Every structure is written in C-alpha cells, then in structure tokens.
Amino acid sequence: MLAAAKYIGAGLACSGLIGAGAGIGIIFSSLIASTARNPQIKSQLFSYAILGFALAEATGLFSLMIAFLLLYS
Amino acid sequence: MLNTDYQTIVLKINSPLEQFEVTNLLGINSPFFGFFHLNLTNLALYSILVLVIIISIHYLGNNENKLVPSKWSIALESIYASINSMVREQLGKEVYYPFIYSLFFFILTANLCGNVPYSFTITTSIMVSIGLSFTILIAVTILGLSIHKISFFKYFVPSGTPLALVPLLVLIEMVSYLARAFSLGIRLFANVVAGHTLMKILATFLYQMFSAGFVMFIVTIIPFGLFLAIMGLELAVSFIQAYVFTILTCSYIKDSIELH
C-alpha cells in the first residue's frame, strides 16, 4: 500500500518538470530573438542564456529530487 | 510418483540509483583502541583521482615561463583568461580569483571524471555538493560581516520599499538568502544525478535490446545514436554546471562586498 502510494506520489511530483521545460523554451526563444536584434553581442547573450538555462533547469530538478525522495525512502 | 521440481524466481529489482552508493573499498576496522574505523571509500578514491588529475594537468602544462606557448599551456592560459575575465567582470578585483579558479576546475574535473563509464562522480554525493555550497555561503556571510560589520543587514532591505512592507520583505529576503546554500549545491547535485540516472536506465534498455537477436542488434543502432547524443548532453551539462556554480559564487561574493 505504501509502495503504491510512493509510486503515485513520485509520478505526480514529476509534473514539476512541465515548468522547467516551458522556462527553458522561453529562455532560448528570447535568446534567438535578441540575437536577431543585435548579432554583435551574441556571445554575451549566449552566456546569459546558459546561466538562465541552468537556473530554470535547477527548479525543475528540485521537483525531480522530491520524486526520487518519495520513491526511494 | 511425479517428481515435480520448481524453480524459485528471484525478483530482485536493481534500482538505477545504486550506482551512487558509497562503498568501502579497503580499510582498517578494529575493536581495539576505541573502535578504530578508517575506510577508503570509492568516493575518497575518486576524490584522490580528481586531485591527482588536476595537479598533474597543471604541473605537466607548466611550460616554465617560456615565451612561446606549447599546446597544453595555450589551453591552460585560455582557461585562466576566461575565468579571469568572468571574475573581473563580476567583482572588479582579482583577490578572490584563485579560489574561483580552483572551484571551477574542481567541479569541472569531478563531473568529467564521472562521465567515464563505470566510474563514480563525486558530485553525486550530496555531502560534496551541499557541503561545498554551504561552506561558500558561510564564507560569504563572514566576508560581508567582516567588511561591513553591522550594516551588512542593509542587504536585506531593498532600496525604495515602502516602510510598511519592510518587516515582511526582510523575512523573505533572509529566507531567500539562506536558501542559497542549498539551491547552489542541489542544482549541481540534481543535474548530475538526474543525468547519470537517465543514462543508466537507457543503457539497461539498450543492453536488453542489443542482446535480443541479430535483427534487433541492427535495429538498435538508431536508439544507440540517441543514447550517444544524450551522453554528449551529459558532457555539456558537466561544463555548464561548473560554469554556473562558479558564476553564482562570484555573484554571491559581489553581493557581500557591495550590498545591493
């Protein structure tokens, strides 16, 4: 019974990755748009985009950690 | 009389998180002298390996102050220059540069060592990642308190807030400040653990597909190409996580030095 609840909880906790996927898409779409506006500062924009990608991914992976926590302890 | 023999089916499900277990490799455990336990774990072995790799890269690429750089010293000098520009852009002064450089190199080497198959990534240990980020937060707080003494707490009141909101805002800012300790470490830890777990699961499926006959072997080349792409992504994540950890550490040091 507890194991079934763990599996259900872990599956529900993975829905936090929806936000991560949406956030990463927004970051890179604005990278493409801003590079089209000003191609000269492409490298600076790319480094900001990588920083933003890592931060957005981290939030999604926090929820994945909760899923692992539920599943294995 | 029928002699029925039955097989016991062993249902042991190996979890993909077993690759992250810290196991004792060799050690001295004695019940004498106050229960002496000294163990070399796989985490310690890989930490020593990362140390040896970092020191040997810098020792062998030394080039002894020659004017013409060798290939190795070009690589080391370009890494030096890029991290130097990052530190100077964020902080404006180079006092904390050796620390930032060694932090970047340590996390990069640790992640890259873990991408070798069958090896252990030391940043998948929560003690390493969160210990590192917790230490950085304590260091940055002590730095801010020693520079600014009691007016360090001006950092928690953003400029231009109405006076009625200040208590609530200070509370929220303090919680967000203390959460930096965990978020910095958990970002590194979760990225590396999730990537390695995904690769373990995919490799298990690929193994079963590859060993299921000759036709399946040929057909499985296509999913194997996808697995190679995910391995490339894992390589990129190693670099990106080292870069993000370093640049966020620079940003936190900057927040402590200039309080806004």
Q: How far apart are CA A21 and CA A61, in angstroms?
A: 11
Please name the member of A51, A61, A64 whose beta carbon is closest to the beta carbon of B244. Answer: A51
B186 has a chain A CB within 8 A of its CB? yes
Give me the tens of pLDDT residue by residue for chain B, a chain 260 residues long: 555 566 665 556 677 788 888 888 888 888 777 788 888 999 999 999 999 999 999 988 887 777 787 788 888 989 999 999 999 988 888 889 999 999 999 999 999 999 998 899 999 998 999 999 999 999 999 999 999 888 888 888 877 778 888 888 889 989 999 998 899 999 999 999 999 999 999 998 898 888 888 898 889 999 999 999 999 999 999 999 999 999 999 999 998 888 87
Contact flag A72-B241 (C-beta cutoff 8 Å): no
Contact flag B190-A51 (C-beta cutoff 8 Å): no
Neighbouring C-alpha atoms within 13 Å toward the C-beta of B31? 0
Q: How far apart are CA B45 and CA B49, in angstroms?
A: 6
Taking CA B202 as the corner, what is the angle to CA B197 and CA B203, rounded to the nearest 5 degrees?
Answer: 95
Give the contacts of B184 (CB within 8 A, at least 6 positions apart). B133, B136, B137, B245, B248, B249, B252
H helix or E strand, kind and range, residue B24 = strand B24-30
Q: Which residue has the tokens 């001006």?
A: B154
Chain B environment of A65 (Cβ under 8 Å): 186, 189-190, 193
